[in-house]
């Protein structure tokens, strides 16, 4: 849909920034959304897809220059099941890139990102969400790197044997010696250590152990919204010393205390609400038929809808995200912030950021508050490009495929 807003000074400034700096988002769950809603079909992403937060027209409207596509699998999967499902997710991203070569290209390095941006394509990087995805195997970690996985989140919602999650009961006490060995291998390969979803004890241990900058691919600030998925000021200060980046997320319950309280009430009334992992198509099976099966796979949908009808969900807005960005800039510094929307990983996003078309509106809101051109360029992508380069400088063996391979 055309954007008919009148041109303003802030709009012109943001247009200039996004014309010269690739906007890099740290986390988008389109691959898992395609598994559940489309049986992993990658067809018709060049058309309007209102059931998703992401399609090609809205990526273009949002001026997205580079995207870390999450190859998420739930942390209830373990061992070989987790590795297999992660491979299916990686395959979905690679098939999407092959289906739309005029729009997407695989990227693993900062130079790849800039080359794609210069060619008018969306640089596509991959990120594995949770250490359970490697099934306890550094061989699996290395093979994921060979397939283009550029970061791994150390945990998801549940602990792994070697690291504690932010949303599970403490068990490892942070990172174990095995966890430190995983971090060391990631440093050796140049794979970014992602601390979103991890417990603060894990974050502090990882920051002490790593020899390369880390990222938070999709987290916000605990001082602004007291949610365990957000980073504390102590961690933000340590992050600045490490050279890493907090990619501020838009998830309403992570940016708004009001939404966070509603979420806690919902969990108390309805339970944890574990999302059933949808099945993938079997060989020769029609993806549409699988999508139809998956659509009816949530046994709690009706009960949840009834509860929400009596307990309306509050909304977050673009100003909530701005508050986190400004706090992170104040505590960690402008060199250590980025963006990580988590589109297609949650059911709704803040007003003004409802889908991937909203990034220019966010940058315009920041420009209106006095953020400079250099500030906006650093936030949009400059900081993440630096982290990619610094991690590659530390690495002693890089396994990334070439952008054409």
Q: What is the CATH number of the domain that holds 42?
A: 3.20.20.140
| pTM (2 d.p.) | 0.95
Residue 336: active-site member: no
Domain membership of residue 22 (yes or no) is yes
Question: For residue 270, which of 236, 294, 298, 300 has the smallest C-alpha distance?
Answer: 300
CA distances from residue 208 to 22, 214, 219, 302 in whole angstroms, order as listed: 31, 11, 20, 46
Domain membership of residue 80 (yes or no) is yes
Of 27, 53, 324, 336, the catalytic one is 27
Residue 319: active-site member: no
Of 156, 227, 327, 336, the catalytic one is 156
Domain membership of residue 329 (yes or no) is yes
Question: For residue 202, which of 240, 160, 241 has the smallest C-alpha distance?
Answer: 160
In angstroms, rounded to a whole number, what is the distance separating the alpha carbons of residues 193 and 239? Answer: 12
pLDDT reported for residue 272? 67
| Cβ neighbours of residue 172 closer than 8 Å, sequence gap 6 or more | 159, 161, 162, 163, 164, 179, 202
Residue 197: active-site member: yes
Of 25, 112, 164, 342, the catalytic one is 342
pLDDT reported for residue 5? 42
Of 197, 227, 324, 327, the catalytic one is 197
Domain membership of residue 176 (yes or no) is yes
In angstroms, rounded to a whole number, what is the distance separating the alpha carbons of residues 132 and 154? Answer: 8
Domain membership of residue 11 (yes or no) is no
Domain membership of residue 9 (yes or no) is no
Q: What are 344-365's pLDDT values in tens digits?
A: 999 999 999 999 999 999 999 9
What is 257-274 written as a DSSP string?
Answer: HHHHHHHHHHHHHH---P
Domain membership of residue 68 (yes or no) is yes
Residue 55: active-site member: no
Cβ atoms of residues 174 and 204 within 8 Å: yes
Residue 311: active-site member: no
Which positions of the chain have pLDDT values less than 50? 1-7, 403-405
Of 218, 227, 324, 336, the catalytic one is 218
Domain membership of residue 244 (yes or no) is yes
pLDDT reported for residue 274? 63
Helix (H) or strand (E) holding 153: strand 149-153
Residue 27: active-site member: yes
pLDDT reported for residue 403? 47
Q: What are 76-94's pLDDT values in tens digits?
A: 999 999 999 999 999 999 9
pLDDT reported for residue 2? 45
Of 25, 55, 129, 375, the catalytic one is 129
Residue 393: active-site member: no
Name the DSSP letter for residue 6: P
What backbone torsions phi and psi does residue 70 show, to the nearest 5 degrees? -70, 135
Structural domain total, the chain: 1
Domain of 73 in residue numbering reads as 18-273+301-394
Of 29, 205, 344, 355, the catalytic one is 29
């Amino acid at each position: 849909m055309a954007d008919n807003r009148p041109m303003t000074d802030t709009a012109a400034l943001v247009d200039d920034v996004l014309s010269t700096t690739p906007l890099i988002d740290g986390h988008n769950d389109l691959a898992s959304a395609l598994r559940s809603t489309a049986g992993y079909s990658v067809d018709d992403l060049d058309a309007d897809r209102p059931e998703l937060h992401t399609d090609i027209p809205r990526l273009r409207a949002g001026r997205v220059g580079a995207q870390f596509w999450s190859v998420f699998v739930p942390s209830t999967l373990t061992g070989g099941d987790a590795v297999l499902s992660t491979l299916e997710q990686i395959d979905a991203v690679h098939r999407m890139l092959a289906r739309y070569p005029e729009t997407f290209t695989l990227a693993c390095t900062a130079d790849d990102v800039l080359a794609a941006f210069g060619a008018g394509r969306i640089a596509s990087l991959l990120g594995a969400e949770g250490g359970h995805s490697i099934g306890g195997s550094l061989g699996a970690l290395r093979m994921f790197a060979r397939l283009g996985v550029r970061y791994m989140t150390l945990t998801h919602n549940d602990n792994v044997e070697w690291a504690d999650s932010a949303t599970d009961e403490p068990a490892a006490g942070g990172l174990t010696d095995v966890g430190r060995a995983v971090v060391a291998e990631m440093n050796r390969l140049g794979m970014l250590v992602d601390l979103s979803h991890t417990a603060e004890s894990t974050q502090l241990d990882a920051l002490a152990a790593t020899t390369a900058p880390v990222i938070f691919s999709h987290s916000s600030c605990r001082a602004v919204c007291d949610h365990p998925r957000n980073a504390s000021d102590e961690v933000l200060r340590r992050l600045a010393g490490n050279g890493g980046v907090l990619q501020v997320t838009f998830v309403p319950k992570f940016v708004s205390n009001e939404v966070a309280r509603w979420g806690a009430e919902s969990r108390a009334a309805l339970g944890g609400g574990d999302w059933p992992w949808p099945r993938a198509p079997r060989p020769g099976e029609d993806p549409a038929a699988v999508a139809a099966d998956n659509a009816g796979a949530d046994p709690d949908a009706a009960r949840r809808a009834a509860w929400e009808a009596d307990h309306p969900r509050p909304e977050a807005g673009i100003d909530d995200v701005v508050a986190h960005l400004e706090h992170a800039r104040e505590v960690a510094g402008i060199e250590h912030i980025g963006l990580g929307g988590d589109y297609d990983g949650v059911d709704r996003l803040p007003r003004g950021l409802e889908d991937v078309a909203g990034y220019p509106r966010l940058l315009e809101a920041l420009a209106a508050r006095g953020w400079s051109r250099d500030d906006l360029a650093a936030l949009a992508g400059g900081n993440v490009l630096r982290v990619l380069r610094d991690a590659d400088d530390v690495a002693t063996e890089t396994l990334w495929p070439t952008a054409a391979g």
